[in-house]
Chains A and B, each alone.
Chain A
């Protein structure tokens, strides 16, 4: 590939979650052009799915939206959403990146973001964004405050693509922005540095045989609970169980589901579950005053500022019962979910007939992270997390000069740490640019 000798002082950030956004804003404010590539239709990442964040219980959208808007309006940041990295060549100062802009079947130049298409779309499918807790349309935006506020059509859910019928969105769009013939397009961009901030996923509950292989109704994971608790979620923020919409009065939270389990699942600690489980318990109690919460835990890891106090407050103020022990098995019995656990502090077996069970599932990398790692030429560990150059002293650099990592793509961490990580990565990019 031709190297025209110049050092391009432009950064590409892969991933538009809080880490990617933070890094982009830092770099933009420092005077550098940034290309932000995000595979979902809009930026915001996992924080979009959250209701409130610990330890302050601030509304996640209220904290996030100013950042996404700032990113969307920043003169130096170019947003390429609904796009994925195809190929990366070159070296620091001169990366040539081929990006696939996925067909959204909507002409974003024409679209005004009025939302009529999504409103009138007749097709309903379990929404991935809502973690199966609610239904979504085939043409959708991720949230009312999406940046950019342009919809995409998911062809596997769309009646026109599947059966050749419908076309309601096309008919109803006031500016004729629907284009079923759209194809994936490819663009090539030249950048000097890359930050990979592609985020995380949760280990699917379908993996846990002893917890019902994901088929026991009302056994959900942490992100699904966030959707239940969100005002913009499928139940408008009311804690209702998915099977029958009743308000659960006996709720069991199970920490370390798939974490700290070298024999069967992930050996590592997922770092954030103790805090978010306590958060979920407290938020649930705020809404359901006569409900009881049981949290099965092995240890409590509350290392950040205000974290330990948060946990203790939950116990003291809300009467949340912490049971030190694991849960061996969950199964359905009529309308209840039987939970077989243990309280090792008294040594007794504990059985709870719960209305709902929330699994704090282990944090794992995004499913295509190993392919991304290969494309970038950077190392991933056996679980897929992007590997830093040195565990203690180089947490955001990789084995390739010019490529940096930020956020949960490097390992599980909470929002504050992800932002700090992203700031660090941005600062490394600036350091690199300053040398040339």
Chain B
């Protein structure tokens, strides 16, 4: 099975570990991720102003170019997934905007590209039970809390990813890897997103609530699927520690890093040194290294 792959600007650089582990795992899973030949940033936010058509152009271009190369596009970053999928829906539903956009970018895209998040590929095309069979090093006893964040789930009518109040796909994935999936109420609450630029203290507070909720429910590791969320709940733990002196740090993994460990990839290829909070103690403690 092959999919067109849109990494997104952050995965190319600051979140290289996310991208690399995904590619390595895909090889082992028999998935081919064909990176788009020519891509740009998606814009990092779906334009909520209805008259802002300029902001729709980058994702539209990505879609149009992808459609020339294939029929299904996947991405790892939750924000890119959200922007691209919502743009796709808009193009499908709004004929007037579609024509305007197509005229400007001088392409003819009709909205017929299939857009999937990598987790959806793992669930639908491979199947978690099949995935389980490819695990050589199950993450036994790793109490991992799946943090969904917002962009995968909302708006539900357009994303159609999973139940927006009680999603389970991520937990099913973790269980397939042999880990213990921790449920916690803040798993669908926002990390603060771009407020780490506008009002960093607010974002710190959001991250603190999420992490303490997970820790309270027994988590010893967080799992994320978005470089923005990861920045807020991983990197910003240093800011949290400055405000809340007795806060105990907890490592944050990209889900493909855990997938890589479970599939027996050499840990040096997992980019674990890019993780802000040192994940080695937890991994060593569980005998996973």
Q: Is A381 an interface residue (CB 8 A)?
A: no
Enumerate chain A residues within 8 angstroms of B166, measured Cβ to Cβ: 209, 213
Chain A contacts with B in 328-363, Cβ cutoff 8 A: 331-333, 338
Q: Across the interface, which residues of B come within 8 angstroms of A332, CB to CB?
A: 185
Q: Which of B139-175 contact A (CB under 8 A)?
A: 163-166
Does residue A58 face the partner (Cβ distance < 8 Å to B)?
no
**A332–B164 Cα gap in the complex (Å)?**
17
A204-237 vs B, Cβ < 8 Å mask (1 yes, 0 no): 0000011001000000000000000000000000
What are some 11 contacts across the A-B interface (CB < 8 A)? Answer: A209-B163, A209-B164, A209-B165, A209-B166, A210-B165, A213-B165, A213-B166, A331-B185, A332-B185, A333-B185, A338-B185
Query: What residues of B have a CB within 8 angstroms of the CB of A333 in the complex?
Result: 185
Chain A residues touching B, range:
under 10
A residues sitting closer than 8 Å to B (CB atoms) are 209-210, 213, 331-333, 338
In the complex, what residue of chain A is closest to B188 when comparing beta carbons? Answer: A329
Interface size on B, residues (CB 8 A): 5
CA distance A338 to B185 in the complex (A): 10
Cα–Cα distance between A213 and B166 once the two chains are bound (Å)? 8
Chain A CB count within 10 A is highest, among B163, B164, B166, for B166
What residues of chain B have their CB less than 8 Å away from a CB belonging to chain A? 163-166, 185
CA distance A213 to B168 in the complex (A): 13
In chain B, what residue has the closest Cβ to A215? B166
In the assembled complex, the CB of B157 is this many whole angstroms from the nearest CB of chain A, namely 11
The residue of chain A having its C-beta at the shortest distance from the C-beta of B189 within the complex is A329
Bound-state CA distance A210–B166 (Å) is 8
The residue in chain A whose Cβ has the minimal distance to the Cβ of B185 is A331
**Residues of the A chain whose Cβ atoms lie less than 8 Å from the Cβ of B165:** 209-210, 213
Shortest Cβ distance from B188 into chain A, in angstroms? 9
Q: Which residues from chain B contact A338 at a C-beta distance below 8 Å?
A: 185
Complex CA distance for A332 and B185, rounded to whole angstroms: 8
CB distance from B280 to the nearest CB of A (A): 32
| Nearest CB on B from A210, distance (A) | 5
B164 / chain A contacts, CB cutoff of 8 Å: 209
CB distance from B85 to the nearest CB of A (A): 21
- Closest beta carbon of chain A to B163's beta carbon, Å: 6
Interchain CA distance A137-B39 in the complex, whole Å: 66
User: Once the chains are docked, how many angstroms separate the CA of A273 from the CA of B236?
Assistant: 46
- Report the bound CA distance from A113 to B247 in whole Å: 65
Report the Cα distance A132→B149, complex, angstroms: 34
Q: How far is the CB of B169 from chain A (nearest CB, A)?
A: 15
Q: Which residues of A contact B185 (CB under 8 A)?
A: 331-333, 338
Residue of B nearest to A330 (CB): B185
The residue in chain B whose Cβ has the minimal distance to the Cβ of A213 is B166
How many whole Å from B156's CB to the nearest CB in chain A? 10
Nearest B residue (CB) for A332: B185
- Residues of chain B lying within 8 A (CB to CB) of residue A213: 165-166
Bound-state CA distance A213–B165 (Å) is 9
Give the chain A neighbours of B163 by CB distance below 8 A.
Answer: 209
Say how far A339's CB is from chain B's closest CB, in angstroms: 12
How many Å lie between the Cα of A210 and that of B163 in the bound state? 11
A209 to B164, CA, bound (A): 8
Q: For the A-B complex with A209-B163, A332-B185, A338-B185 known, give 6 more contacts whose Cβ atoms are closer than 8 Å.
A: A209-B164, A209-B166, A210-B165, A213-B166, A331-B185, A333-B185
Cα of A331 to Cα of B165 in the assembled complex, Å: 11
CA distance A26 to B147 in the complex (A): 62
Instruction: Report the Cα distance A333→B185, complex, angstroms.
Output: 8
> For residue A334, which residue of chain B has the nearest CB?
B216
Closest chain B residue to A338, Cβ basis: B185
The 3 closest A-B pairs by CB, nearest first: A209-B165, A331-B185, A210-B165
Residue of B nearest to A208 (CB): B165
CA distance A46 to B166 in the complex (A): 32
Closest CB in chain A relative to B186 CB, distance in Å:
9
CA gap between A332 and B184 in the complex, in Å: 9
A338 to B166 alpha-carbon distance, docked (Å): 16
* Interfacial chain B residues near A331, Cβ < 8 Å: 185
A113 to B163, CA, bound (A): 49
Nearest B residue (CB) for A209:
B165
Q: How far is the CA of A427 from the CA of B164 in the complex (A)?
A: 51
Question: A84 vs B165: C-alpha distance in the bound complex, in angstroms?
Answer: 38
Chain B residue numbers with a CB within 8 Å of A209 are 163-166
Q: Please name the residue on chain A nearest to B216 by beta carbon.
A: A333
Closest to B156 in A: A209
Q: How far is the CA of A332 from the CA of B213 in the complex (A)?
A: 12
Task: Give the complex CA separation of A338 and B213 in angstroms.
Answer: 12
Q: Give CA–CA (A333, B214) in the complex, Å.
A: 12
Contacts of A210 in B (CB 8 A): 165
Instruction: Kindly report which residue of chain A lies nearest to residue B213, judged by CB atoms.
Output: A333
Q: Closest A-chain residue to B217, C-beta based?
A: A333
Q: Chain B's nearest CB lies how many Å from the CB of A86?
A: 39
Give the distance to chain A from B211, nearest Cβ to Cβ, in Å: 15
Q: How far is the CA of A418 from the CA of B182 in the complex (A)?
A: 49
Q: How far is the CA of A333 from the CA of B213 in the complex (A)?
A: 9
Q: Which residue of B is nearest A333, CB measured?
A: B185
Measured in the bound complex, the distance between the Cα atoms of B163 and A213 in whole Å is 11
Report the bound CA distance from A333 to B164 in whole Å: 20
Query: What is the bound-complex CA distance between A210 and B185, given in angstroms?
Result: 11
Q: How far is the CA of A209 from the CA of B163 in the complex (A)?
A: 8
A332 to B186, CA, bound (A): 11
Distance in angstroms between the alpha carbons of A338 and B186 in the assembled complex: 12
| Least distance between A265 CB and chain B CB atoms (Å) | 14
Q: Could you tell me the distance in whole angstroms from the C-beta of A80 to the nearest C-beta in chain B?
A: 43
User: In the complex the two chains form, what is the Cα distance from A332 to B165 in whole Å?
Assistant: 14
In the docked arrangement, what's the CA distance between A409 and B185, Å? 39
Complex Cα gap A38–B185 (Å): 44
CB distance from A55 to the nearest CB of B (A): 36
Q: In the complex the two chains form, what is the Cα distance from A331 to B184 in whole Å?
A: 9
CA distance A331 to B166 in the complex (A): 11
* Chain B proximity of A244: nearest CB distance (Å): 20
